[in-house]
Amino acid sequence: MKESTVVICDKKHAVNNLTDLLSIVEFEPEMNRRVLIKPNICGYYHASLDLLSSIIDFLIPHSNSVIIGDTASMVHDPKTQYEKLGINTLLRRYGDSLDAVDLSEEEWTKVSVPKPHVLKEVPLPHRVLNSVLLINVPGVGTHSTTRLTCALKNLFGLLPEKRKFSVYHPLGIDEIVADIYQAVKPDLNIVDAGKKILLGTDALAVDVAACRFVKLDPLKVDHLRLISQDQEEKLEEFIKKVKVVEV
């Protein structure tokens, strides 16, 4: 039975020791030309600047291009949020080594979903599809529709349409999230959980571990169950394979 490792530690420790922590989850990238960081910029649960800075510091020596990207929501647009949340200060600090883009303005392509729940194809920006590494950096919280918003729900923010709520929510947002995860999978997930940080390469395992921080039973989060089923495994069995390492 192959385990999925998730590291949990204090945020300060994560910021200062990110390389060591990533080795625990066996994330050791070679030189990659294009890296895309996907924080939750236009939602409600944002990663701290200290955490983002630590991630950027780790990635720059391994990449020729590090880009922060998000799409517009009904409430926010990325460019305004980059200024409001301090992302622009990071752009000035790192200069040509870092860029931030509005993925809603990118050209996009529809990607086939192998086992569709409600979407046979998922529209994704070219920059997402062309990136060698996708680093998923959500916050964790509760959600009125999906109960949990974390690593998997953060991928919903890759859809380029601004009116995501009216377009996708009537179809069933848990099903949409499951379909997106079939079309694109992050290489690394780093979750800002307030005073704690969660790290892992498997987004489903990270979300299972994150449920404790918002007092949710993962078995009651529908998109977790759907995604586990898509991987031909019952969620109850998958949970047994999540190895949580507290540092």
The DSSP secondary structure of 94-157, one letter per residue, reads HGGGEEEEEGGGS-EEEEE-SS-SS-SEEEEEHHHHH-SEEEEE-B-EEETTTEEESHHHHGGG
Helix (H) or strand (E) holding 239: helix 235-240
Can you give the pLDDT at residue 54? Answer: 97
Can you give the pLDDT at residue 74? Answer: 84
The shares of helix, strand and coil residues in the chain, as percent rounded to the nearest 5, are: 45, 25, 30
Token pair 């066996």 in the structure block, residue? 26
* Phi, psi values for residue 85, rounded to 5°: -90, 0
The b-or-e profile of 188-197 (16+ CB within 10 A means b, else e) is bbbbbbeebb
Mean pLDDT of 195-215: 97
Sorted by sequence, the CB contacts under 8 Å of residue 81 that are 6+ apart come out as 41, 42, 70, 87
Report the Cα 171 to chain-centroid distance in Å: 22
Burial of residue 181 (number of CB atoms within 10 Å: 0-12, 13-18, 19+): buried
The answer, as to whether pTM is greater than 0.85, is: yes
Can you give the pLDDT at residue 20? Answer: 95
Can you give the pLDDT at residue 1? Answer: 55
All structural domains of the chain, each given as residue ranges with its CATH number in brackets, are: 4-240 (3.40.50)
Instruction: Mean pLDDT check: name the lowest of 145-149, 172-176, 178-182, 242-246.
Output: 145-149
Can you give the pLDDT at residue 175? Answer: 97
pLDDT in tens, 91-147: 999 999 999 999 999 999 999 999 999 999 999 999 999 998 999 999 999 988 889
For residue 2, is pLDDT > 80?
no
Can you give the pLDDT at residue 172? Answer: 93
pLDDT in tens, 60-92: 999 988 999 999 988 899 999 999 999 999 999
Can you give the pLDDT at residue 55? Answer: 97
For residue 158, is pLDDT > 90?
yes
Average pLDDT, whole number, for the chain?
94
pLDDT in tens, 34-54: 999 999 999 888 999 999 999
Can you give the pLDDT at residue 136? Answer: 98
Can you give the pLDDT at residue 114? Answer: 96
